[in-house]
Amino acid sequence: MNQVVPRSTRVEPLPPLSPPSLEPAKVSAFAVLGLSAPLLKAVASEGYETPTPVQQRCIPHVLEGRDVLGCAQTGTGKTAAFVLPILQRLAAQPKNGRIRALVLAPTRELAAQISERTWAYGKNLGLTNTVIYGGVGQRGQEEALHRKPDILIATPGRLLDLMEQGYVKLDAVEIFVLDEADRMLDMGFIHDVRRIVREVPVKRQTLFFSATMPPAIAELSSRILINPVRIEVVPQATTAEKIEQTVHHVAKRDKRALLEHVLRAEGVHRALVFTRTKHGANKLVEQLDRANIRAAAIHGNKSQGARERALDGFKNGDIPVLIATDIAARGIDVDGITHVVNYDLPEVPEQYVHRIGRTARAGAGGRAIAFCDEEERGLLSDIERVIRQRIPLAERVALPQGVAQEVQRPRPPMPERRPEQRSSSPERGRGSPIGQGPSNVPSVNSASTDARPPRARRRRYRGGSRPTGT
């Protein structure tokens, strides 16, 4: 009903209308990828604003149901790239009390990390997941499986054990994810993976991720993927641009003194140190403890509880130095690692990429420092050939009195890598002294530098598995 306004009442004129804004409404960068509102809410609560390149390229294809072959390094946001669209696809269908998505990971740390992220991203969807891995009792995992999770995240060995005991059925799997496939190969799991693949339905969506693509992994991907979308965010076996890499040439007996010097330097707030063996990791922790540097070790012989305590201390800053073997470090997702130290160079050159990828995550910077002794020069050359660059020599270090420093010839220019020369190495000299460039170092003992010492030859393992230091 219209109200009549008396003539004696003054009516204030309405303010002029504001011109329409020409700026488009702010839309979440993740919404553009096609993610649903519950997932966008979860992503926002995690503090994500802009998707990473692998997320931008992967999420739309997974939402469409395409198979994906992803070549992406650690620290690129790969987990969210497959977990987010999987959650959306599963949430669109009614629950059936069966395992509908299977994620295989090489280590328990990585499996636990994926499970934690899945809970965080899917908290508004009502989907459930269970993680199973070895090294702990299986009773709790049996009970979790009885609760009929939608998503199962597992390491290959424990999964096969539970399958053989009848606790796991994979005949309803709609989405199969193989994460860090190259590590599966390195750890000797490739045959277990093939057994598991035979148990999942042929009609499925498969997502295959690997930081490197050796021939055995390329062959496996060709067998289990159907017309996949290939996503290669960073070229295979290359290192992140924001990682400052250096190498120290140092005698093996003097590595510990050099490590103490590095860890005491300004700017070292959280350091991850890689050793080749479990025994070496334990011994190094003891030596650093005597030097009043707090450290903890994480490797395959540690109980799950000990590993979790070490990781928690490393994350919250109580333990500034974590000593790890390659396999145990897989899945470490810790922000703010300022330094990665290769105390022992890896015998598999591609592993160097995985190691140093623990720093400079999510666009941050970081430093990777390698120690190279007389016996490891062949390994260094192999690493440099794989990453297609020379690792710069570190600045000269003043070590305690009595600690010897190697005097070495400059290394020759790195030759072009030929496809057929997979294990060959260029002729190697004796390198350069600690932190001193080639231009000002005279040749030393030139008569004996044309041939490497026998023990310096690279130890290459043939076949699908190799001994590891975990």
Q: 414 falls in which pLDDT band (50, 70, 90)?
A: low
Q: What is the mean pLDDT of the chain?
A: 79
- Output the pLDDT for position 422: 38
Q: What is the model's pLDDT at position 146?
A: 94
Sheet with 151-154, edge to edge strand ranges: 129-132, 151-154, 101-104, 175-178, 205-210, 68-71, 229-232
Quick check: 361 pLDDT over 80?
no
Alpha helices in 268-407 (DSSP H): 278-290, 304-316, 326-329, 350-356, 377-387
Note whether 228 and 67 are within 8 A (CB). Answer: yes
| 292-303 residue pLDDT tens | 999 999 987 888
- Please check whether residue 163 lies inside any domain of the structure: yes
| 313 and 446 part of one domain | yes
Q: Point out the domain boundary residue: 211, 232, 253.
A: 232
For 12-48, what is each residue's pLDDT tens digit? Answer: 444 444 444 333 334 478 999 999 999 999 999 988 8
For residue 65, is pLDDT > 90?
yes
Going by pLDDT thresholds of 50, 70 and 90, the confidence category of residue 434 is very low
One-letter-per-residue 3-state SS of 321-340: EEEECHHHHCCCCCCCCCEE
Tokens representing residue 349 in the block:
């050159």
Q: Across residues 151-176, what is the average pLDDT?
A: 96
Looking at the domain assignment, is residue 16 inside a domain? Answer: no
Q: Is residue 469 part of a domain?
A: no
If asked whether residues 46 and 189 sit together in one domain, one would say: yes
Give the orientation angle of helix 215-224 with respect to helix 190-197, to 10 degrees.
0
Considering the domain architecture, whether residues 226 and 260 belong to the same structural domain is answered as: no
Return the SS3 of 314.
helix
d(CA 39, CA 28): 11
- pLDDT for 239: 56
433 found inside a domain: yes
- pTM score, two decimals? 0.61
- Segment 457-468 mean pLDDT: 40
- Evaluate whether 293 touches 264 at the Cβ level (below 8 Å): yes
User: Which pLDDT value is given to residue 17?
Assistant: 42
Q: Is residue 461 part of a domain?
A: no
Please report which confidence band the pLDDT of residue 195 belongs to, taking 50, 70 and 90 as the band edges. Answer: very high
Residue 73 lies in a domain: yes
Q: Do 131 and 249 belong to one domain?
A: no
Which residues, at least 6 apart from 223, have a Cβ–Cβ distance to it below 8 Å?
Answer: none
* Residue 127: alpha-carbon gap to chain centroid: 26
Cα 105 to Cα 192: distance, rounded to the nearest angstrom? 12
Alpha-carbon span 107 to 94, nearest angstrom: 31
Report the pLDDT value the prediction gives residue 463, as an integer from 0 to 100.
Answer: 41
Residue 165 is given by DSSP the state T
How many domains does the chain contain in total? 2
Model confidence at 425, in pLDDT bands (50, 70, 90)?
very low
Residue where one domain finishes, among candidates 172, 197, 232: 232
Name the least confident of 36-45, 111-120, 176-185, 459-468.
Answer: 459-468
In a domain, 403, yes or no: yes
Lowest mean pLDDT among 161-165, 278-282, 328-332, 433-437: 433-437
Residues 171 and 78 in one domain: yes
Least confident piece of the model among 119-133, 320-334, 394-408, 435-449: 435-449
pLDDT tens per residue across span 249-293: 999 999 999 999 999 998 899 999 999 988 999 999 999 999 999
Backbone angles phi, psi at 169, to 5 degrees: -120, 130
| Angle at 45 (CA atoms; ends 42, 51), nearest 5 degrees | 75
Across 78-84, average pLDDT: 94
Q: How confident is the model at residue 335 (pLDDT cuts 50, 70, 90)?
A: confident
80 domain residue, yes or no: yes
CA–CA distance, 234 with 232 (Å, rounded to integer) = 6
- On whether both 95 and 61 belong to a single domain, the answer is yes
Task: State which of 232, 255, 282 marks the end of a domain.
Answer: 232
Structural domain including 112 reads 31-232
Q: What is the per-residue pLDDT for 444? A: 28
Same domain, 438 and 361: yes
As a whole-number percent, the residues of the chain with pLDDT over 90 amount to 51
Are 338 and 271 in contact, with CB atoms under 8 Å apart? yes
CA torsion angle for 37, 42, 46, 49 (degrees, to 10)? -10
305 and 176 inside one domain: no
Q: How confident is the model at residue 213 (pLDDT cuts 50, 70, 90)?
A: confident
Residue 229 CA: distances (Å) to CA of 75, 174, 177, 182, 353: 21, 18, 14, 19, 24
**What confidence tier does 144 reach under pLDDT thresholds 50, 70, 90?**
very high
Q: Write down the pLDDT at residue 302.
A: 82
Q: What is the CATH number for 342?
A: 3.40.50.300
One domain, residues 163 and 269: no
Query: What is the pLDDT, as a whole number, of residue 194?
Result: 93
Measured distance CA(185)–CA(180) in Å, rounded: 9
Query: CA dihedral in degrees (72, 78, 79, 80; nearest 10)?
Result: -170
Does the pLDDT of residue 87 top 90, yes or no?
yes
- Residue 126 DSSP code: T
Are residues 222 and 298 located together in one domain of the fold? no
Is the domain of 351 the same as that of 208?
no
Q: Token match 């890689």: residue?
A: 274
Mean pLDDT of 236-256: 81
- CA geometry: angle at 168 spanning 164 and 169, to 5°? 105
Same domain membership, residue 278 and residue 182: no
Average pLDDT over residues 409-438: 40
| Nearest residue to 433 (alpha-carbon basis) of 245, 258, 244, 243 | 258
What kind and span of H or E run contains 88? helix 78-91
The secondary structure of residue 357, as a DSSP letter, is T
